[in-house]
Homo-oligomer: A and B are copies of this chain.
Amino acid sequence: MAEELHVHKRFRVVASKLRAGSLDVVMLSPGDASALGVLPGERVQLICAHCGCGAALLVSRDVEPGTVVVSEGIYEKIKITGCESVHVVPLGVPSSLGFLQRRLRGEKLGPKEIKAIIADIVQGYYDDAGIAAFLSAQTMRGMDEEELEYLIRAMVETGTVVEFGEPVFDEHSIGGVPGNSKVALLAVPTVASTGLLIPKTSSRAITSPAGTADTMEVLARVAFGPDEIRDIAKKVRGVLAWGGSLNLAPADDIFVRVERKLGLDPPVQLVASILAKKLAMSVSTLVLDIPMGKGAKVETEAEAERLASMFLQQAGRLGIKLRIALTYGGEPIGFTVGPALEAREALETLMKGGGSPSLVTKACSIAGLLLEMGGVSGPGKGFDKACEILRSGKSYQKFREMLEAQEGDPDIKPEDIELGKYTYTLESTSEGTVTHVDNHVITMAARAAGAPQDKRAGIRLHVKVGYRVSKGDPLLTIYANSKTKLKEALQVLATMSPVAVEGMLIKVLP
């Protein structure tokens, strides 16, 4: 096409103090931009010996002709290659755009077409418009069994694959319930203590007040390269790491960013996201937790089963042994929400060998299923076995080894973990029974208080569903690190009720 005829010129790379996040921008002089035939705001591609990346073009008379000023993110990428000059070419049309158009017209795509789209997305050849179009098709049409397998494999192949040379076990939750991030801190050491290999990677919180990586980071380092993960796993059998520094299925992070922006969460993408990351970590045996209940991602059993069958179908195609745990997700797990508070509760539970029933039961159920699948326990015996391991202190012992391997302090005590300085305790205004603790309101208030960026922010529940309370009894305490953040959390609670207390008398008519 005519666009291919442009002369490609080399430009000297100039670093700038400009931070553009996922947008990635570069600046050229007006003359250079016009010689390239690119308009401001359009996308260009930077090519050097070892890399190719996409960015949005800005034009400024302050830029010296022959140079390209790049944002920090781009500079980081180029610096690694050692290149001092790059070609800048109009991004034009990604070569897979025709496949995306066919998909939007309702055609079925084959493995090569899907791989081409995913590879172009990972290379930065699509801007958010193209990614949004792909996700819109995922929302409107979804994918059949075969297409979804191609998608997952393409997502894996366009990133790093970490291999361990032996069977890899893992557990994962689709999330959506506050307080859930600490479950893995109990389940992983419990499984690892039996000798099964469980190098769990997880994300930081996206829309929740704490991800497992955020909570573990209160106690230890969580960002490791592939070799470090492998070394730690081989040594102590269990790891709790952040997946973000491993480049596992990197298309997923791009999809998640645009999904958030559009408020979309298509089920096919949820399945692809989780299974691609697990396949990239060579997981062969997986327990997947689908919390179910009011305010959770999945509200009905029918929905949960539809989603579960997609997961099971794909796991079968990909050679992953999968069992799914539908768990109760109608209120928060345990009594804490937010990284530091959850790290405290996990550590207390590990040290005591017991704690909040919802937390202990959930962690032991999930660990138990893995023990059964790994042949450590007989069918139906896993739960009891896991509880026994936890009670005996073996889980805590393994967790200490993990803390040490991950450069944390194995001797840390729960009370050593610092919490937000500013607190407010909400009290019951009536006598009665707690009938509901609202996931959504608790999540919003904990995030308003600063979680997860501020690890010390969060909420401690004093009651859960079924508790009897009198007027003036504490319901929950908010922790924040500034008066402003505390006030913001209180504003959330001022408009929506986090805890419902109902007496025998519901209402009085005039």
Report which A residues bind B (CB closer than 8 A).
1-2, 5, 16-25, 27, 30, 39-42, 56, 58-62, 71, 93, 97-98, 100-101, 104-106, 127-133, 135-137, 139-141, 258, 261-264, 444, 447-448, 488, 491-492
Contacts and interface: CB of A to CB of B under 8 A. Distances in A.
Contacts of A258: 129
A338 to B, nearest CB: 14
B19 A60 contact: yes
Most B CB contacts (10 A, CB to CB) among A25, A30, A59, A132 go to: A132
A265 to B, nearest CB: 10
Nearest to A492: B2
B71 A2 contact: no
Nearest to A136: B136
Given A132-B129, A136-B140, A264-B101, A58 B5 contact: no
B263 A93 contact: yes
Given A129-B129, A129-B262, 4 more contacts: A21-B42, A106-B140, A129-B258, A133-B133
A303 to B, nearest CB: 14
A263 B97 contact: yes
26 contacts: A2-B447, A2-B492, A5-B491, A17-B61, A18-B59, A19-B58, A21-B41, A23-B40, A23-B41, A23-B56, A24-B41, A25-B58, A93-B263, A100-B262, A101-B262, A101-B264, A106-B140, A128-B128, A128-B129, A129-B129, A132-B132, A132-B136, A133-B133, A133-B262, A133-B264, A136-B140
Nearest to A21: B41
A60 B2 contact: no
A39 to B, nearest CB: 5
Contact of A127 (B19, B21, B128, B488): B128
A258 B131 CA distance: 12
A448 B2 contact: yes
B448 A5 contact: yes
Nearest to A445: B2
Contact of A21 (B19, B39, B60, B136): B39
Nearest to A7: B484
Given A18-B60, A23-B41, A488 B132 contact: no
Given A129-B128, A135-B133, A17 B62 contact: yes
A60 B488 CA distance: 27
B261 A127 contact: yes
Contacts of A105: 139-140
Contacts of A127: 128, 261
Contacts of A137: 136, 140
A61 B16 CA distance: 10
Contact of A129 (B61, B131, B140, B448): B131
Contacts of A131: 129
A128 to B, nearest CB: 4
A133 B132 contact: yes
Contacts of A39: 21
B136 A60 contact: no
A197 B262 CA distance: 45
Contacts of A18: 27, 58-60
A78 B27 CA distance: 23
A461 to B, nearest CB: 19
Contacts of A132: 128-130, 132-133, 136
A23 B5 CA distance: 26
Contacts of A62: 17
Nearest to A139: B104
A29 to B, nearest CB: 10
Contacts of A61: 17
A128 B59 CA distance: 20
A5 B488 contact: yes
Most B CB contacts (10 A, CB to CB) among A2, A97, A133 go to: A133
A476 B125 CA distance: 37
A19 B104 contact: no
A125 to B, nearest CB: 12
Given A261-B130, A262-B97, A20 B141 contact: no
